[in-house]
Amino acid sequence: MTRMLIIGPPGSGKGTQAERISERLGVVAISTGDIFRANVKGETPLGVEAKTYMDNGDFVPDSVTNEMVRDRLSEEDVDAGFLLDGYPRTTAQVDYLDRILAGGQQELDVVLQLTADDQELVTRLLSRSKVTGRSDDNEAVIRHRLDLYHEQTEAVVAKYAERGILALVDGIGAVHDVTDRVMTSLENPLRASVNSGR
């Protein structure tokens, strides 16, 4: 059984790797974005509240996000393990997740962080924007999103590094190569010191 998080900057291929890891390990991948969309679509009380923030382009508050994640982690399909994508983003959310897991006498096994050079990511996302036509993929917005990522995740990553469960994996390269590095890292007990690619 594996209970893990995946963390990575915009453009690092985190979503793609989450799907591949989920298949390889036989655990369910849980994206907070998917949780938000499911609640909004289902018009749940939490979804209705979240939608007011999302429509304004604001971050959904911790209180709402935490409740959604708690509800999702109470479902039966996570009994065999899970991979969380997009949560926790703050140290307060780390503490809340700890309490959720402790309630079921569980804890995280590993936190996987995909690493990548910011300039490489900017180039990758600008290239993607030409294909997808996404209006939010201009360089100023991309760099702002990367800055937010670094601000949000630095303290979160530090917490998990202190626990000795952080695995650093170079997220740049062919998709299958990154997946191979990920799987090797998950099998290696000296996670934080190997496969950083740096």
> Would you name the residues annotated as active-site residues?
14, 89, 128, 134, 145
* CB-based burial label for 36 (10 Å; 0-12, 13-18, 19+): buried
Say if residues 7 and 112 touch (Cβ distance below 8 Å): yes
Q: Phi then psi for 115, rounded to 5 degrees? A: -110, 150
User: Element (H or E) spanning 102, and its range?
Assistant: helix 91-103
Amino acid identity of residue 19, one-letter, is: E
User: Rounded CA gap, 179 and 187, in Å?
Assistant: 13
User: Element (H or E) spanning 83, and its range?
Assistant: strand 81-85
Cis peptide before 61 (omega within 30 of 0): no
User: Rounded CA gap, 44 and 48, in Å?
Assistant: 6
Query: Half-sphere exposure of 13 toward its Cβ, with a 13 Å CA cutoff?
Result: 21
